[in-house]
Amino acid sequence: MKYGILAAGEGKRLAEEGVPLPKPLVRLCGEAMIDRLIRVFTECGASEIDIIINGLHKETLEHLSEVCKKNPLVCLKVKTTPSSMHSFFELMPLLGEGRFCLTTVDTIFLEEEFREFISRFEQSDEDGMMAVTDFVDDEKPLYISTDDKLNITGFHDQKEGCRFVSGGIYCLSHKAFPTLRRCIEAGKARMRNFQRQLIEDGLRLVAYPFSKILDVDHASDIEKAEAFLRGL
């Protein structure tokens, strides 16, 4: 199975708060976030790891160019995009036919939970499996409604009685690409709009609960993420 990493954001908030490194190179417990994802995905048996970065940060390009020389699984695309959904669209030709797992570079999870998530998706016949959590630590969380079998029934900006929020890890197949293409053509620019359209287009999506998933958007999130990974 292929894996995709969206790492084309500018990381403005981290820079404004005094973090000197581009977001993909920010280290957690001594390991750059982008390197952690590459390692975890490799350990999960990735057949290819497709990464998109922007053209703004020379350090990230230099780092990943060296990674590509050492790890033949890694394919790098450099393009500055206006949103995560546009970055996903740029990765689409690399992801190709079949099933894949997609996430952003700053998504922090426990590795054992992720491995079980991937195993469950590989054994399933669903069109997609979305990582969710009941731990809310996001400025603008995307709430997810489900039925009693954890089939996803909707994506919401407000809680509306929902138990879970999106964890930002998406297991999908090429069946999702026509939806993505139509979203781009319609001028939509957020991943949550793409996810809503998946439901409208009749794709079967199931939620997979994680205990906790964090994003690193602010300097203070670095310490919280490290504590989480250390089990503190």
Write the pLDDT tens digit of every residue in 70-94: 999 999 999 999 999 999 999 999 9
Distance of alpha carbon 184 from alpha carbon 176, whole angstroms: 13
pLDDT at 142: 96
Q: Residue 56 pLDDT more than 90?
A: no
pLDDT at 68: 95
Read off the pLDDT of each residue in 181-206 and give the average, rounded to a whole number: 96
Which region holds residue 171: left if phi is over 0, alpha if psi is between -120 and 50, else beta?
Answer: beta
Residue partners of 64: CB distance under 8 A and separation at least 6? 24, 34, 51, 53, 74, 76
What secondary structure does DSSP assign to 17-57, as a single string? TT--S-GGG-EETTEEHHHHHHHHHHHTT-SEEEEEE-SS-
3-state secondary structure 60-83: HHHHHHHHHHHCCCEEEEECCCCC
Tell me the average pLDDT of the chain: 95
pLDDT at 197: 97
Q: Which residue shows structure tokens 């981290």?
A: 14
Model confidence at 208, pLDDT cuts 50, 70, 90, reads very high
pLDDT higher for 117 or 140? 117
Q: Residue 39 pLDDT more than 90?
A: yes
Residue partners of 206: CB distance under 8 A and separation at least 6? 124, 126, 128, 129, 130, 149, 150, 151, 152
- Whether 48 contacts 75, CB under 8 Å: yes
pLDDT at 198: 98
Q: Torsion over CA of 225, 101, 111 and 117, rounded to 10 degrees?
A: 120
Of 58-62, 136-140, 192-196, where does mean pLDDT reach its minimum?
136-140
- Whether 184 contacts 85, CB under 8 Å: yes
Q: Which of 113, 102, 8, 133 is nearest to 64 (CA)?
A: 8
pLDDT at 138: 78
The fraction of the chain above a pLDDT of 70, given in percent, is 100
Q: Residue 42 pLDDT more than 90?
A: yes
- What is the value of pTM for the model shown? 0.96
